[in-house]
Amino acid sequence: MKIFADTADVNEIRRLASMGLVDGVTTNPSLVAKTGREYADVVKEICGIVDGPISAEVISTDAKGMIEEGLRLAAIHPNIVVKTPMGPDGLIACRELANRGHRVNMTLVFSAGQALLTAKAGAYLVSPFVGRLDDISEDGMALIADIVSIYRNYGYKTEVLVASVRHPMHIVEAAKLGADCVTCPAKTIEQLMHHPLTDRGLAAFLKDWENRKR
């Protein structure tokens, strides 16, 4: 399963990339705004760090604006995946961009029906938000299972990118269900590295080594 970093912090991305832990990056205007830098500059720098899909989200809400903005974003680098929001305009923009040979990541997906339409529109990625569903007492991971099953039933090529990941178990469950990729903050990715027994074992090894020298 591919792991994407959901961030616009280039230092976080460089750190994860140095460990071979990041296969792609997802960004949005909110994340880039926190850097205080120009959107295109941040996206271009990220493309120079990670050789994988880099999702850059449009700000426009109408189909025409999304298409125009998507074409500008796609021109920044070959690895750019244009992120458009679910809805009638997003689907129109997705279809048009896909027909022009550009990859699209349909975001803000909360139902299997929306995911089905996303695949039919020709999206490269679908981003179901599991954490936000959990927040309203719905089962986010059950949605992932449904989408994976539907896509397999009909051979859709759209990849399932599990988004709104809140903790390491979301990542593990996504892998068990056969999702293609997950996107999450750097902190959540790094939490996968740690286990109290690992820390305890390392401490014991070091203590034994020190005792041997006495």
Using one digit for the tens of pLDDT, what is the confidence trace for 53-73?
Answer: 999 999 999 999 999 999 999
Cβ atoms 7, 186 nearer than 8 A: yes
Average pLDDT over residues 42-62: 97
Give the domain CATH number at 170.
3.20.20.70
Using one digit for the tens of pLDDT, what is the confidence trace for 133-160?
Answer: 999 999 999 999 999 999 999 999 999 9
- The catalytic residue positions are 83
Give the per-residue pLDDT at 200: 83
Average pLDDT over residues 66-85: 97
**Boundaries of domain holding 22:** 2-212
- Joined together, the tokens standing for residue 141 give 């991971």
Give the per-residue pLDDT at 112: 98
pTM over 0.85: yes
The fraction of the chain above a pLDDT of 90, given in percent, is 89
Sign of CA dihedral 170, 176, 177, 179: positive
Using one digit for the tens of pLDDT, what is the confidence trace for 6-40?
Answer: 999 999 999 999 999 999 999 998 899 999 999 99
Q: What's the number of domains the chain is made of?
A: 1
pLDDT at 213 over 70: no
Amino acid type, 57: E
Give the per-residue pLDDT at 196: 83
Q: C-alpha 53: how far from its chain's center?
A: 9
* Residue (of 136, 125, 137, 134) closest to 182 by Cα position: 125
Cβ atoms 27, 55 nearer than 8 A: yes
Longest Cα–Cα distance of the chain, Å, equals: 74
d(CA 22, CA 4): 5
Average pLDDT over residues 174-192: 96
Give the per-residue pLDDT at 211: 80
pLDDT at 214 over 70: no
Average pLDDT over residues 37-48: 95
